[in-house]
């Protein structure tokens, strides 16, 4: 007899206790349950892997599909505030009760015959894949959770793979150099199917694997490219061009790379999912994604970014630099303990005038105390003349943000970054609108 629950939180709590580990690599268990469920997609599937830029790429793919009149389905992870954000159907976040029959189906299949232990991620992925497969979609967009080759999403054969960027992250699971990590991400490719690589300098392992299995490799700078000036940008791919495009609504220099990969994917799938130039223009101009260099106007200015590894923090630093002058930049920072924190702190450090280190509501997180110690240790190593940068400690991102607002002048800016948890906690009750206390005094 299998368990059954009447609410989504109960199912999620159940999923957390099935498997002794939170991450257990390998596809045999997931594949076995998927076969019992007879899980399959009738529509084209686009699978997106990469160290950074996956969520933005999925959002742009979805926006262009919606503007073309299609019904897309999107699976992304992790979520910022609510679990339901992981599944969008026809542009709408799925409702909690809509997940229930699919969790029920996974549980029944898992216990059919010999019981299969699934991790939280595997169980929830199977439930959402089933939800998407039954939603009569025109295109399914799947974001890889971790790596690619052994990620639960890879039980579905993709019609078009996208690899956004390859950098160092999750070294304990994926390897500690770009070549090894690239090979893991390349695992989402399929023979004879297009693979779009929007990383301008991809690891050789990605190119070699595409050749080895006979995938149709689209390389940035070779099969597609972009150019732009201050006003607009243009894209050229195999046999198609777009000129005079507005910049994507998602801010930041790296978003043109992501947008270029999106246009290449639709070009590669043009026989099955044709999109119009107008849909591309409107879709990219309207795309929204919370927590990706999200600038919330107010006094002070608030910047939210889920940047949580050296590569994405480097992009955040460049984007902050391009914003112009602010008298003081306050940083609310919370991060996971398994991240390569030193290069993250060193990169963004010169732009930060005050740090607000925070604990996060998960066991994987580094404590605020340890973050402060890491920062102080880096300052000691740097030697020479040092700026005195004040630091303080908080038990939650919300408390850290409140303190930053109290300390800030209206012309300052506050940046909240380091993890989905850090940004998610701040967005819990919707985007905060800041009004510095000094205003009108």
Write out pLDDT tens, residues 268-289: 999 999 999 999 999 999 998 8
DSSP secondary-structure letter at 41?
-
% helix / strand / coil in the chain, to the nearest 5?
A: 40, 20, 40
* DSSP letter assigned to residue 345: H
CA distances from 321 to 56, 176, 318, 326, 327 (A): 21, 29, 5, 10, 13
Distance CA 316, CA 20 (A): 36
Tokens of 116: 């299969």
**Domain at 294-427, CATH from 3.90.190.20, 1.20.1530.20, 3.40.640.10, 3.40.50.1820:** 3.90.190.20
pLDDT by residue, tens only, the chain of 441 residues: 577 899 999 999 999 988 777 666 679 999 999 999 999 999 999 999 998 899 999 999 999 999 999 999 999 999 999 999 999 999 999 999 999 999 999 999 999 999 999 999 999 999 999 999 999 999 999 999 888 999 999 999 999 999 998 886 544 555 568 898 899 999 999 999 999 999 999 999 999 999 999 999 999 999 999 998 888 999 999 989 999 998 999 877 689 999 999 999 999 999 999 999 999 999 999 998 889 899 998 899 999 999 998 989 998 999 999 999 999 999 999 999 988 899 999 999 999 999 999 999 988 899 999 999 999 998 876 555 567 899 999 999 999 999 999 999 999 999 999 999 999 999 988 888 777 665 443
In this predicted model, what pLDDT tens digit does every residue of 201-214 receive, in sequence order? 999 999 999 999 99
Q: Packing angle between helix 96-110 and helix 28-37, nearest 10 degrees?
A: 100
Helical (H) or strand (E) element with 66? helix 54-67
Helix axes 341-348, 368-382, angle to 10 degrees: 70
Q: Which CATH superfamily is domain 8-286 in?
A: Mur-like, catalytic domain (3.40.1190.10)
> Which residues is 305 bridged to in the sheet?
417
Domain boundaries, the chain: 8-286, 294-427
| Secondary structure of residue 329 in the 3-state scheme | strand
CA distance 263 to 234: 11
Q: How far apart are CA 266 and CA 276, in angstroms?
A: 10
Stated pTM of the model = 0.89
Q: Which two tokens stand for residue 86?
A: 């992981």
- Angle subtended at Cα 89 by Cα 83 and Cα 90, rounded to the nearest 5 degrees: 140
């Amino acid at each position: 007899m299998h368990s059954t629950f009447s609410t989504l939180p109960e199912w999620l709590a159940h999923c957390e206790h099935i498997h002794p580990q939170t991450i257990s690599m390998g596809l045999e268990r997931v594949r076995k349950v998927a076969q019992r469920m007879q899980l399959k997609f009738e529509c084209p599937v686009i699978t997106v892997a990469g160290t950074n830029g996956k969520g933005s790429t999925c959002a742009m793919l979805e926006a262009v599909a919606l503007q073309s009149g299609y019904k897309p389905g999107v699976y992304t992870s992790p979520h910022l505030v609510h679990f339901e954000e992981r599944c969008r159907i026809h542009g709408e976040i799925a409702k909690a009760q809509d997940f229930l029959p699919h969790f029920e189906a996974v549980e029944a299949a898992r216990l059919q015959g010999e019981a299969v232990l699934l991790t939280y991620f595997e169980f929830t992925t199977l439930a959402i894949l089933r939800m998407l497969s039954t939603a009569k979609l025109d295109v399914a967009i799947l974001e890889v959770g971790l790596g690619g080759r052994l990620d639960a999403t890879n039980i579905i054969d993709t019609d078009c793979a996208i690899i956004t960027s390859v950098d160092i992250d999750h070294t304990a699971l994926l390897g500690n150099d770009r070549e090894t990590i690239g090979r893991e991400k390349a695992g989402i490719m399929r023979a004879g199917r297009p693979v779009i690589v929007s990383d301008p300098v991809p690891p050789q392992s990605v190119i070699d694997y595409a050749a080895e299995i006979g995938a149709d490799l689209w390389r940035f700078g070779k099969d597609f490219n972009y150019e732009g000036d201050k006003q607009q940008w243009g894209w050229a791919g195999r046999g198609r061009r777009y000129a005079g495009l507005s910049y994507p609504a998602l801010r930041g220099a790296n978003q043109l790379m992501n947008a270029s990969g999106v246009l290449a994917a639709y070009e590669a799938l043009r026989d099955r999912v044709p999109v119009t130039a107008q849909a591309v223009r409107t879709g990219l101009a309207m795309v929204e994604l919370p927590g990706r260099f999200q600038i919330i106007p107010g006094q002070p200015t608030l910047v939210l970014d889920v940047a949580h590894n050296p590569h994405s923090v480097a992009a955040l630093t460049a984007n902050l630099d391009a914003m112009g002058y602010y008298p003081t930049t306050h940083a609310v920072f919370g991060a996971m303990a398994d991240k390569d924190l030193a290069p993250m702190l060193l990169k963004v450090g010169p732009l930060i005038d005050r740090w607000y280190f925070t604990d996060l509501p998960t066991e994987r997180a580094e404590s605020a105390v340890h973050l402060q110690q890491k920062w102080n240790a880096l300052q000691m190593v740097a030697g020479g003349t040092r700026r005195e940068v004040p630091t303080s400690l908080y038990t939650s991102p919300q408390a850290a943000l409140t303190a930053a607002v109290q300390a800030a002048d209206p012309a300052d800016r506050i940046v909240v970054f380091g993890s989905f948890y850090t940004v998610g906690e701040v967005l819990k009750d919707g985007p905060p609108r800041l009004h510095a206390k000094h205003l009108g005094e």
